[in-house]
A = this chain, B = another copy of it.
Amino acid sequence: MRAQLVTIHDVARAAGVSPATVSRVFNGGKVTPARALSVQEAAAALGFAPNRVARSLRKQRSSVIALIIPDIENPFFTSLARGVEDAAQRTSLSVVLCNSDEDTDKERRYLEVALGEQMAGVIVAAASQDETDLGPLTDRRVPVVAVDRRPRDAEVDAVLVDNHHGGEVATRHLLQAGYHRIACITGPEGASTSEERLAGHRAALRAAQGGAAAADDTYVRHADFRVDGGRAAMRELLALPEPPDAVFVANNLMTIGVLDALREADRTPPGVGVLSFGDVPWASLVRPSLTAVELPSYELGRTAADLLLQRMDGGVSPVQTVVLRTKLQVRESTAGPARS
């Protein structure tokens, strides 16, 4: 029922020492054991909990790190968040999650909050490559790590996925399974993730055609990384005079839309090949016949957090970029198109 807050002064008075000593007890300063004990007892008796705001103000740094992600409803990012959390868990830092919703305005507001709250560090999966401005943070020497997507011209550490390689492996797998007309539904133009995955796809096609690099975009569609976008793009592809017999989809949510469009048209895998970049959430359980490029989402988060912690310790000075490899998770038992 104690409603007033207990300060370090109250504890000091109760223990018969100065506030400075109380502070030292809680921060590992040198204090005689006997005194330290009596301080701890007094603190416990009074139910003292340090005021983190005052502490942050004085230290010019709080003990919270921000993780800013563009879509909290995408399991890829929640898994990434788990990685960050688990890594931070081992320190005294707390992680707070901010959902920018792919909206650069919301993102900017959260970046302002991070700055204004003097957060100890920021991990950000940028909503935009061009508009996301990390300048204010880096100017004030707040440690920042970009994850999954690197904002253009930002001098920050980054943890990325090998999108090109993943795209290449994916399309190669479809080719090897016997598909011929392989489409690609990728993300928004201008997003590094979209472009790199598409580039990998094209590279695999080129290699298969033996160098006759006819850049043919008939089967290429740009969508928005969301369910609806994937569905619309797939419908378009199906409406072509000669529809593709397989499709490489550049993210998990769009794949859901694609599967939906295929069901509508009564064409389901493996009659038509579907390869998703990123695990389709839970589909692996409900419908196990889907091959996907597995993304190290958890490790992405873990690594980003580790990098941030390093940076906060003032360790490395040069900017680091870590690239994690994708892995092809083959799940089809009956791979390949219907032989004609």
Contact = CB atoms under 8 A, between A and B. Distances in A.
Interface string A41-57: 00000000111111011
Contacts of A282: 227, 256, 280-283
B72 A78 contact: yes
Contacts of A112: 49
Interface residues of A, number: 58
Nearest to A73: B78
Interface in A53-76: 53-54, 56-57, 62, 64, 66, 72-73, 75
Contacts of A54: 57
A287 interface: yes
Contact of A115 (B1, B49, B257, B281): B49
Contacts of A245: none
A213 interface: no
B96 A98 contact: yes
A130 to B, nearest CB: 20
Given A97-B98, A285-B227, A285-B260, A51 B139 contact: no
A102 interface: no
Contact of A94 (B53, B64, B98, B118): B98
Nearest to A282: B256
Nearest to A62: B53
A325 interface: no
A85 interface: yes
Contact of A116 (B52, B66, B82): B52
Contacts of A306: none
A214 interface: no
Contacts of A52: 113, 116-118
A140 interface: yes
Contacts of A281: 281-282
Nearest to A118: B53
Nearest to A283: B286
Interface string A279-300: 0111101111000000000000
A263 to B, nearest CB: 8
Given A256-B282, A286-B286, 7 more contacts: A49-B136, A52-B113, A57-B57, A94-B110, A95-B98, A259-B286, A280-B286
18 contacts: A5-B140, A49-B112, A49-B115, A49-B116, A50-B116, A53-B62, A53-B118, A72-B82, A73-B78, A73-B82, A85-B101, A96-B97, A97-B98, A227-B282, A256-B285, A257-B285, A259-B286, A280-B286
